[in-house]
Structure 1
């Protein structure tokens, strides 16, 4: 059988694209997802849960062998070890494991895309697709949709935990409280919009691959099916080689192949097919099909820093409450050369699924409009090997210094008496490998953290001693505030990814030598191949990337069906 479209990757973009393309009954659509399926009648509890800390770290739904460098592997004489970065391997992709935030970004983000030579992707062009995808449960008007597959809601202040309310009391003087993040583009303190309904996650696997969609005779869904290679005939891509489970590799033939494998896994598929930087390909013995130096370059993300806190009972979530992040504070750094509303603060009211996590939280700062660029490259030509990923977080001086400024803002918030009233102690934090391991739900972690939770509550000396040994107490932070170089040193080591990897196969104009795609998402230099996922973004947006990725799929579906 020859399909009209073979979609590689059933994630945020791929599931949405399959749903839309298969609405045309004359088109035969195959969707290949490397991970398990999550049909509407069988969504695992850890995915449907409003609290994302379970799906975030459940290895059943990740590319568990993927490792990345948060910073350049070598910094002077220091060797930087690789760490895990949770990337979804499950139907719905990132929308099945992420924090469920449904933030669009700023009009300036998309107007920047247009200015970069990507005609048809301005804010005015994208807004209809943001409206098309959403069913806003709280707000109406010209900036909102009411009939889309993705429900959008918010948790308002009356239901916020004490820690978040205390942070709002500090921030709203300079960043006034505003209710609708997606309809206001000024600085402010906002309830975070969520892709969530009835206190349950709604992924694209649920929103677009409904029972009705799955019943279509022209939609074929293949879960647990990993692509090994593209089938090439001259300069045309004519299908993909993939295997399902333990079965031998098969060929899925297609009039058009659409890669939706994400910013870290789409580039390797292209590179192994000979599409990428010619010199790098030849060094691995891969014949060059199309010399595109931008494949795997321009990788962008949102660098984060955080401090942790052990809460008094007044700060904690109420019993049974699942959502743990309610507030986003959008502000301008004022750093030279940076755009307005480039930063985000978020109080976190829970640090894990386990007993200790329920008593702890954090205050995060994010460079929401970053400039640092990393790379995705091949280790070998073997499809079994994960790529080499260098995020290069805070590699750009503007990103690093805005993180430093963000830490100083966090310090002032955490030292405010209104916040101190809810906090026993606070400390430097980050996503260490130990923290990641504790975040996997299993009995041994429950026992370990349950014991620690009791000691943290009832043995303050134990709590302070342990935190001092592992992280450094507030005395260290007082000292850092007297010497900015100490903050810079810590920020370089503690920076962590926002899980918003993007831009590694960017769209661009005909005169852009690093552009991998044209404005129709077609891969330059070959025929029959497109990319529709976060890797196609020309530059990172000032927001969580998931809703924009879905909107890109909505727009791409129209482009594809009308081509």
Structure 2
């Protein structure tokens, strides 16, 4: 048990994806003592483990339920920003899509100064994490903690979407983590036997059986404690009086792209002028919170006379899920999609589509009382950057989050091109055959109407990154510049958001960080994997 005077080798803040990986990997050494601090509670709610139920988790006790500041390019709208406040973090709330990003993303990181983070460097860590039901090969691995499987729902509306996309001229791609990202297909998922395989399921729960791992759930990290430049622990509040959880070796922040910068700034690590204005000490003057990125998404919704995911929460389907690991409750909602280039001249995809066999509107919070289906683009390689700042010196105050979505013309052009692409798919015979009318769509396919729709209907794709980026706030070993014994391991260290869903990259980064912390060698690369360069 933790209490005043309790000391560990490593103190980790945040039991999200990265924190779960690190807690598991570092405690593989029985002589290492680890404390894992998590503000939320256990991942016990059945809606966490039933894939199709995840939208019901939004704005509940397991969601931090943040909002943006008024977004200037979106007419002053405040967007909802769900984040997991529970064991597993956002991997306990997400749509379970397993996408690594494009190899070029990581090579660009390395060229920009993130030494050791090229595709060649990170691929072994993706593979070490993975247990893919398709088997091992040059692009995939088996035997890792994280189960990756093909979707078991295979909803007829998802199949209709894929047929329509092919009719629109887009090739079928059986593996977005294979030789190419381009094309359309079903997503692979972090599921095990049809149930969610979160980072808590894959990494943390098995590790909790070890006596050298202490989980401090329901505990809020207030600030990092320093002696000189060295981080020596974390001040926490939970049950009982606030106290210090001491770290002999390192403090490791894994609280995510919104909360890690908040904790750093509360601890005196951040922009000096902003900290001084808040009456906080300045230990290291760094651009903490700057560079925020995310994938901005806009979905079009249509009515259908087909059975959607509406009404599938029946006892029969629950029994099918529990006994056979199949049926509509295994749906991750975003079952299919694809990657596209907005123009032939582009070398890399800049649009990603997600498709749901259900109406998904008003940021996933709107009421649904009829059958429908939806799909739409996100800006896959955004230029727009935002920031996270403190709202007050109170460590319980939500951070001030300004994404500045669509603030750059390139991003506006991209979302317009993506919506036009989505409407072209809707016009194909396979889509028209099961569509009975519009539910929430642009007024026309003109640039002005498409952009107006994007501004009004768009939302986060739940992929915030880059607020403690390598080269600006952290070094390539993820150590916080200007400090000692303090590291950041989560999506905030990404120099830019990858081209794809971000959970797999976060798990990769934590696997790599575990080796950096332990001084271990990178997993060996096979000749087949070397050939992927």
Contact 1:301 1:502 in 2 (8 A): yes
Kindly report which structure 2 residues correspond to 1:470-549, keeping only aligned pairs within 5 A, or say none: 477=443, 480-481=444-445, 483-508=446-471, 515-549=472-506
The SS at the match of 1:180 is coil
Contact 2:302 2:359 in 1 (8 A): no
Q: 1:553 to 1:206 in 2, by over 3 A?
A: same
Instruction: Please state how far the C-alpha of 1:371 moved relative to its aligned partner.
Output: 1.7
CA deviation map 1:69-124 (0-9, x unaligned): 3723x88xx6x243421111001001111001111111101101101101101111
Bigger drift between 135-144 and 534-543 goes to 135-144
- The match for 1:308 among 290, 295, 301 is 301
The SS at the match of 1:554 is helix
Kindly report which structure 2 residues correspond to 1:368-379, keeping only aligned pairs within 5 A, or say none: 368-379=380-391
Q: In the aligned structure 1, how far is the partner of 2:309 from the partner of 2:228?
A: 61
1:144 is aligned to 140
CA deviation map 1:385-408 (0-9, x unaligned): 111000111112111111111111
The answer to whether 1:47 aligns with 2:63 is no
The answer to whether 1:3 aligns with 2:8 is yes
Q: In the aligned structure 2, how far is the partner of 1:267 from the partner of 1:315?
A: 40
2:320 is aligned to none
Instruction: Please state how far the C-alpha of 1:347 moved relative to its aligned partner.
Output: 1.8
Q: In the aligned structure 2, how far is the partner of 1:345 from the partner of 1:516?
A: 32
1:552 is aligned to 509
The answer to whether 1:242 aligns with 2:236 is yes
The answer to whether 1:19 aligns with 2:15 is no
- The match for 1:30 among 31, 35, 41 is 35
The SS at the match of 1:264 is helix
Give the alignment's Cα RMSD to 1 decimal.
2.2
Kindly report which structure 2 residues correspond to 1:156-555, keeping only aligned pairs within 5 A, or say none: 160-173=154-167, 174-211=169-206, 213-245=207-239, 247-255=240-248, 256-293=250-287, 295-313=288-306, 320=317, 321-322=328-329, 323=331, 324-334=333-343, 339-351=347-359, 356=368, 359-428=371-440, 477=443, 480-481=444-445, 483-508=446-471, 515-555=472-512
Instruction: Please state how far the C-alpha of 1:335 moved relative to its aligned partner.
Output: 7.8
Q: In the aligned structure 2, how far is the partner of 1:302 from the partner of 1:361?
A: 21
CA deviation map 1:27-55 (0-9, x unaligned): 110000000023xxxx3211101214345
Bigger drift between 6-15 and 172-181 goes to 172-181
Aligned residues: 493
Contact 2:102 2:181 in 1 (8 A): no
CA deviation map 1:199-252 (0-9, x unaligned): 1001111111134x212121111101111111111111111110124x221110
TM-score, normalised to structure 2, is 0.88
Q: In the aligned structure 2, how far is the partner of 1:112 from the partner of 1:495?
A: 28
The SS at the match of 2:142 is coil
Instruction: Please state how far the C-alpha of 1:379 moved relative to its aligned partner.
Output: 1.2
1:449 is aligned to none
The answer to whether 1:118 aligns with 2:127 is no
The SS at the match of 1:108 is helix
Q: In the aligned structure 2, how far is the partner of 1:395 from the partner of 1:2?
A: 46
Bigger drift between 339-348 and 395-404 goes to 339-348
Unmatched segments (≥5 aa) in structure 1: 430-475, 509-514
Unmatched segments (≥5 aa) in structure 2: 1-5, 318-327, 521-533
1:67 is aligned to 67
Contact 1:315 1:422 in 2 (8 A): no
The answer to whether 1:94 aligns with 2:90 is yes
TM-score, normalised to structure 1, is 0.83
